[in-house]
Amino acid sequence: VSRPRVFSAMQPTADSLHLGNYLGALRQWVALQEDHDAIYSVVDLHALTVSPDPAVLRHRSRLTAAQYLAAGVDPARSLLFLQSHVAQHTQLAWILSCLTGFGEASRMTQFKDKAARQGSEGASVGLFTYPILMAADILLYDTALVPVGEDQRQHLELARDLAQRLNTRVGREVVTVPEASIVRATAKIYDLAEPTAKMSKSGHASGLIELLDDPKVIAKRIRSAVTDADTVIRFDREAKPGVSNLLTIHSALSGTSVADLEAEFAGKMYGHLKVAVADVVVETLAPLRERVTELMAAPDELDAILADGADRARTIAAGTLARVYDAVGL
């Protein structure tokens, strides 16, 4: 019996991934390898939508791949590659763009949000068609499951719609329709400085816990995390978002339940909780950071892993694209 195919990816738009990426995505990716046929990509073509400096983009693509590996993505079991190494992504994206309505693409809320930030003249056509490239990423590998956050649900729906449309048009199953469900409930991590907003690279710098940060910086950010004027250490997302976020982070990394943490910290001060959270974060990230340093210092190993991943991805992608070409009359 074949294991269900999983595809997921992140954009190389920062040097370091953050704790939200780790707990909300990467850690699940690693767990999914156990019983899934997993394909993970660094989607560098998507990152072009924010016009990065070329040298910075190239560096970040490799650094992001190194973070996947350091977190436990295992190239012996899973496929890891850079999106731009597999030309079929852009080839399928063109075909899918011809199946997408202009109005349909215009309804993507993430484009509206990002375009509003960049200004309508600043936003590129690439930013507009981004969800179509993402649909190509998913459909090329006959993906069954896509572990992404809630914010990607609309894009995933588009991928499903396009797969169904293509299949209906030709009257047979040309591509697999991915499941829209988010595979596993994952911890949502909030900004340390504004604990009602999700931790994001586009949020406050002081609100981020970056995987590659110096332990001293991490500890300082956690010590400065916004809490509340109360003193009780209790999980209450509404009334105590800062404390609840710290409890979530501790629990997710230590494996201790939030209820047990509440009992452990009964009568203690916020400062105690912050020290404990900083310790568990630093302890988790130290080996990860070390492995990233090693990988970046020995580029041949990383390049070989990415070249091998791209070779294997290309074989699968070429098969899918040949079926699609045939189906649409090319």
Q: Known catalytic residues? A: 114, 198, 201
| Residues 125 to 164 in contact with ligand ADP, rule: CB under 6 A | 148-149
Q: How many residues bind ligand ADP (CB under 6 A)?
A: 16
Measured CA angle at 204 (ends 253, 125), to 5 deg: 105
Looking only at the bridges linking them, the beta strands covering 5-10 and 37-42 are parallel
88 annotated as a binding-site residue: no
The DSSP line for 129-165 is: HHHHHHHHHHHTTT-SB----GGGHHHHHHHHHHHHH
305, two tokens: 């892993």
By beta-carbon proximity to ligand ADP, the closer residue of 14 and 313 is 14
245 binding ligand ADP? (CB under 6 A): no
Alpha-carbon distance 100 to 81, whole Å?
A: 27
Nearest to 213 by CA among 278, 274, 301, 260: 278
287 annotated as a binding-site residue: no
Q: SS3 for 227?
A: coil
178 binding ligand ADP? (CB under 6 A): no
Alpha-carbon distance 311 to 315, whole Å?
A: 6
- Tell me the per-residue interface mask from 77 to 96 with ligand ADP, x by CB under 6 A, - otherwise: --------------------
Burial of 98 (0-12, 13-18, 19+ CB in 10 A): exposed
Smallest separation (angstroms) from ligand ADP to the CB of 301: 25
28 binding ligand ADP? (CB under 6 A): no
| Residues 182 to 241 in contact with ligand ADP, rule: CB under 6 A | 188-189, 198-202
By beta-carbon proximity to ligand ADP, the closer residue of 201 and 234 is 201
**One residue of 6, 25, 219, 222 binding ligand ADP per CB under 6 A:** 25
149 annotated as a binding-site residue: yes
* Sign of torsion over alpha carbons 149, 150, 152, 158: positive
Smallest separation (angstroms) from ligand ADP to the CB of 84: 17
- Binding-site residue numbers are 11-13, 20-21, 137, 149-151, 189, 198-202
Known binding-site positions for L-tryptophan: 137
What are the residues binding ligand ADP (CB under 6 A)? 10-11, 20-21, 23-25, 148-149, 188-189, 198-202
